[in-house]
Amino acid sequence: MNSLISLHQLGWQPFFQQQLALDEYEHATIARIVTIHRNEYVVQTNHATLKLAIDTESASFTVGDWLLLDTNNLLIRRLERKSLFRRKAAGSAAKAQQIAANVDTLFVVCSLNHDFNLSRIERYLALAHDAQVEPVVVLTKQDMCNDAEDKCSAVQQLDPMLRVVSVDARDQSSCLCLADWTQQGQSIALLGSSGVGKSTLVNTLMGQTDQQIGEIRQDDSKGRHTTTARSIHFLPSGAVLIDTPGMRELQLAACEQGVKQTFADVEALASQCRFSDCQHTTEPGCSIQQALASKALDPRRLSNYRKLLSEQARNSATLAERRAKDKAFGKMVKTVGTASRHVKKGY
Ligand SMILES: Nc1nc2c(ncn2[C@@H]2O[C@H](COP(=O)(O)OP(=O)(O)OP(=O)(O)O)[C@@H](O)[C@H]2O)c(=O)[nH]1
Ligand SMILES: [Zn+2]
């Protein structure tokens, strides 16, 4: 499938442009990964949709990555990422998986009805911060809620710099407040629990235009036509929406920095405690305890901070253990291999 699309429409930005050497600028083809199949990436250039086999060098690439290709459409290199969402793989094998790269803005979607939950929003903010992506909290179902303003200001209190909007996700004019982040050149992603209105919001942002663009038709190995969903969609407003399945099941793993950034106020208080190893329980001169007593700090926020910090530590420990185990296993295989070769050679 060939199609004309500008690099800007694909989400190209100066951050990537400045990584190009002069000869790359002149001769290389710039491509963005739009979908991953089992054995190949589907990449979009400004004039064609191409397939690229996945090999050991490219195994850790993901949707949203920018690549440079040579004149034969072979990989030269992947450009440095601006941001990256990772997740712990499902099951006991706690291996990190790359989920989406080069997202600019994450819409943290939460509904204003019974599902409204500040601690859950904080969890998503930690993920956004860890990925180096700007979060925007999008509160849906404003039409079903009488105290939308109170809830908006409760979210705003989590962080005075945070952008918070409320919408009726079904209504296009209500979603115009998202225009700042959905312009051409921008890449966005959505995160939120089930039923909060993510699909509704995507449909509203998409209008009716994505039908053909959202699908990739290709021949499978038996010559049959198959249609697969793209993980990247082009919004009529100009932005690129990265919607990989894994985005919706993101977990906290090895993201201490993301949690600390989300709870910068708690971190700042903790740094003022008299003892540097203060546990913030009964120690004298504890700023956290003082802030709780004066109601400057919400006990819910402190307990969620502790919970998320320990959750990510637990998941990172599993990652580290996994790596150590893999290493030990690798060594064992090598030793056994050497031993068996020795046996075969009759040593
Ligand atoms: N009244 C109202 N209903 C909404 C709004 N946003 C979503 N809904 C409804 O809420 C229900 C769930 O919305 P979805 O868009 O399917 O939610 P989702 O987040 O995509 O859910 P998953 O696919 O399970 O992740 C649907 O019936 C929507 O019509 C809103 O702003 N106002
Ligand atoms: Zn303390």
Give the pLDDT confidence of 199-246 residue by residue, as tens digits: 899 999 998 654 443 444 454 445 445 545 668 899 999 999 998 777
- For 301-323, the pLDDT digits (tens) are 999 999 999 888 887 766 666 66
Question: Do the Cβ atoms of 170 and 206 come closer than 8 Å?
Answer: no
Calculate the CA dihedral of residues 193, 194, 200, 203 and round it to 10 degrees.
Answer: 80
Confidence grade of residue 334 (pLDDT, cut at 50, 70, 90): low
CA of 291 to the centre of ligand 2 (A): 10
pLDDT at res. 213: 39
Q: At what angle do helices 299-344 and 118-131 cross, to 10 degrees?
A: 50
CA distance 177 to 171: 11
Question: Do the Cβ atoms of 34 and 40 come closer than 8 Å?
Answer: no
Cβ of 168 closer than 6 Å to ligand 1, yes or no, is: yes
pLDDT at res. 94: 44
Higher pLDDT, 218 or 334: 334
Confidence grade of residue 345 (pLDDT, cut at 50, 70, 90): very low
Nearest CA to 178 out of 95, 238, 97 is that of 238
ipTM: 0.96
Cβ of 64 closer than 6 Å to ligand 1, yes or no, is: no
| β-strands 187-191, 240-242 pairing | parallel
Cβ of 140 closer than 6 Å to ligand 1, yes or no, is: yes
177 φ, ψ (degrees, to nearest 5):
-65, -10
Q: At what angle do helices 148-156 and 118-131 cross, to 10 degrees?
A: 40
- Known binding positions for Zn(2+): 273, 278, 280, 286
- Known binding positions: 140-143, 192-200, 273, 278, 280, 286
Range of lowest pLDDT (92-101, 139-148, 170-179): 92-101
Mean pLDDT of all residues in the chain?
85
Higher pLDDT, 58 or 212: 58
Which ligand ends up closest to the CA of 247?
Answer: 1
CA of 271 to the centre of ligand 1 (A): 42
Inter-CA distances, 95 with 56, 60, 64, 326, 342, Å? 17, 12, 20, 11, 34
Q: Decide: residue 95, CB within 10 A, 0-12 exposed, 13-18 middle, 19+ buried.
A: middle
Question: Do the Cβ atoms of 237 and 183 come closer than 8 Å?
Answer: yes
Question: Do the Cβ atoms of 253 and 86 come closer than 8 Å?
Answer: yes
- For 13-57, the pLDDT digits (tens) are 999 999 999 999 999 999 999 999 889 999 999 999 999 999 988
